[in-house]
Amino acid sequence: MTDATAAEPTSGQTRDLSRARDMIVCEDVSKWYGDFQALDKVSATIKEQEVVVVLGPSGSGKSTWIRCINRLEIHQEGRIVVDDVELTNDLRNIEKVRSEVGMVFQQFNLFPHLNILDNVSLAPIWVRKKPRAEAESQAMALLERVGIPEQAHKYPGQLSGGQQQRVAIARALAMEPRIMLFDEPTSALDPEMIKEVLDVMKALALSGMTMMVVTHEMGFAKEVADRLIFMEGGQIVEQNTTDLFFSNPTEDRTKLFLSQIL
């Protein structure tokens, strides 16, 4: 792994992103559900074009954190700045951030009453105010890209889980986001379908998208991620470049976690 070269861009470990600009900055982000502290002073910076995988056991706050970044959850302390826009209660900032940040959910959350093409083109038409014809041709192009153009006129219920998740990725991409968030995108899928979704995500990472991925897919993390963040109890326990994270974890908790899943 350590002798990966620039000729092999799939393993992002060798990319030097130190001079890239900051896309997501979190400073001491904390959040409570009642008395339960879900996030405890989480601080991290994600650079442009960087692919970050967030690992951790269930209930460690990974999903809560990623959902704070487009304000599906509201953090109570600290600062989150996305593409130079700080997330506050100001509705205009939230709308701006949400149109820059695409999100893919564990349960796909496609709109069941709309066909695939409408699922993908609805937001560009009404949020981006694109003409319908342009939005639909763009949607078809995206469906080609995720490999299911022939399903465009079916409804979500008629598709397999993997296909639905690929549509969900296309739907997020249709807004031309600068950042993509993935909240356990393969956890609700049958094993055979995980690969088709991960392939789409790998291609997306290769194209230079800034990505933050919560996942348990170690193969994906090793192959694609620039950096790994390990969380537990709402805190970031350890973060490091991918090869150092796997080859030389510093914290005992990380070692234990890796020994259990690898």
Residue 64 near residue 128 (C-beta atoms within 8 A): no
Q: How far is the CB of 246 from another protein (least distance, A)?
A: 29
User: 17 or 125: whose CB is closer to another protein?
Assistant: 125
DSSP state of 70: T
Sheet of strand 22-33: strand arrangement: 36-47, 22-33, 77-82, 85-86
Question: For residues 116 and 236, which CB has a smaller minimum distance to another protein in the complex?
Answer: 116
Q: Which is nearer to another protein, 49 or 164 (CB)?
A: 164
Burial track 46-81 (b if 16+ CB lie within 10 A, e otherwise): bbbbbbbbbbbeeebbbbbbbbbbbbebebeebebb
Q: Identify the DSSP state of 66.
A: H
CB 16 to another protein: min, Å: 31
C-alpha span between 157 and 186 (Å, rounded): 18
Q: Least distance from C-beta 177 to another protein, angstroms?
A: 9
Return residues touching another protein (CB under 8 A).
70, 72, 92, 95, 98-99, 101-103, 105, 107, 109-113, 122-123, 125-127, 129-132, 150, 157, 160-163, 168, 171-172, 174-175, 190, 192-193, 196
Name the residue nearer to another protein (CB basis): 42 or 97: 97
Give me the least distance between CB of 15 and another protein, in Å please: 28
